[in-house]
A and B are shown apart, each in its own frame.
Chain A
Amino acid sequence: MTVEPAEKLLAPVLSAFWDDPRSWTLETYRRHDGYQALSKAFAMAPDDVIAYVKDSGLRGRGGAGFPTGMKWQFIPQGDGKPHYLVVNADESEPGTCKDIPLLFANPHSLIEGMIIACYAIRSHHAFIYLRGETVPVLRRLHEAVREAYAAGYLGTNIQGSGFDLELTVHAGAGAYICGEETALLDSLEGRRGQPRLRPPFPAVEGLYACPTVVNNVESIASVPAILQRGKDWFKSMGSEKSPGFTLYSLSGHVARPGQYEGPLGITLRQLLDMGGGMRPGHRLKFWTPGGSSTPMFTDEHLDVPLDYEGVGAAGSMLGTKALQCFDETTCVVRAVTRWTEFYAHESCGKCTPCREGTYWLVQLLRDIEAGKGHISDLDKLNDIADNINGKSFCALGDGAAAPIFSSLKYFREEYEEHIERKGCPFDPARSTAWADKYRTEAHA
């Protein structure tokens, strides 16, 4: 057992200079070795860059954990078609809040990663699909791209390499489903964001039916550090199957919510130790390891290693490492009802199980929360969730089913209590961020 304080586990890489007063500028990025990995990449053959990233073991940070280098390798070469890189910056999964602060504070790490990725997959036009509801980030991306063009990192014959790249920043318009990669591509083509049937996969027929890589912001932004410091350095962190560093986002009833960057495999107990624990006088009740679409955990799971295998073995998914922590004041029925309302609102309507199923889940949950439910509704919830899960084109429906299954597994008595007492036993005022402040004042 280590006796070192938990914060020694942290390893800021992407966040290493976010406290610089002008962290988002090209000047600051260069001062921290920015754009040096690009020169290394240009000195390599494109296929070698792909192999290097594949060897590093970098896995997608958007939720699914697919090996990034393998995605690049799937792009057919010498096919005579244009290739595209599309960065998924549509971060909208409830609880997920890593890419937006990353892009706000350090947009050039993404741009450098994109140039390297495009060189590797032989793409000459790349896109950043940013969710539209984050204008401060859009502003800094516009500025970072302008700076990168002015400095010769984008455009024609980049840094004398002979490689050309155009980069377009594209703002979405409010639709969670566009974080799903094929819906994102339809949206980027100017259509309603609805998922496509696969195959063909985007690597074969993606944007404009051409070979396309869709990667998450954090995945691509991690590439320059891997090239700059080496794959062995990267693999020295995390585990064999889940190597490297990542951003953990701690939120909810914790003493110090925020971004904690460290090696994969940290546990929530360690993160809470360094984050000052739960808010004073309260205990952890339930939490999500990677956003609302990942089955919830309880205080039994504090020592689960937060990597792809560890979380999977414990019955959930690492997802986006969005650790939403709720304390004992929180009504789990209320939390799940609200998430389910979200999925019903965001279901694109293409597949019947998801469109109709999420609607009926909401009706049942609202009744239960309001004390108008029946005990038989609990099996019905499970049954409907089962009829959504795995039965639609994309994972939105699976995500909607996850909070239902997992909350019924761990908190079935709480649902029953709502039904038996004909109402919610919780006071929402006690869950608010200011609840204890007022209580203390009132008692003073």
Chain B
Amino acid sequence: MRLRAMLLLACWLGLATSAWADASVRVETTLHAGEVRVSFQVTDAVSDAVRAAIQSGLPTTFAYDVSLQQSSRWWFDRTIAYMRLSAIVRFDNLTRRYQITFIEDGRVEEVRTTDDEARALQWLTEFHGRRLSAHRLVDDGEYHVNVKAQTRPRMLGWAWPWTPGSVLGSVSFRFRP
């Protein structure tokens, strides 16, 4: 009886994290005219549950927290830039079109529509050349760009909702002008 209960609990916990079970974030950074630009792509980001949520017409948000941190040997890394990107997809089951709204730090940047699911998913999971920071980087300084991706709503069970439900990716570089 106890074993069954523990297995049930494990199933619930597993379901809670299944949305990003196989996902990973690939991050690239470029320096252009003193700006740090970030490109990232979430692979295998759309699970069956997320796809079902999108196909049901449920507005589904792909949220990304992007931060630039300066490495510190003796203390916590210092966050010198932060950006929150969101892509909200709404699938119209009547016209079979995806409408994706891009929001950056609370501002609506762009609205795109397509009837191609692959393209829509690509728009939701790939971002290129996003300007992250115009801070002057320290020569030979070590930096990290972290991207945390998560979707909402989270299709969680009721046993333990406090699961992370996100996937992380990061890249480090040393600034040499």
Do A and B interact?
no
- Chain A positions within 8 Å of B, measured between CB atoms, are none
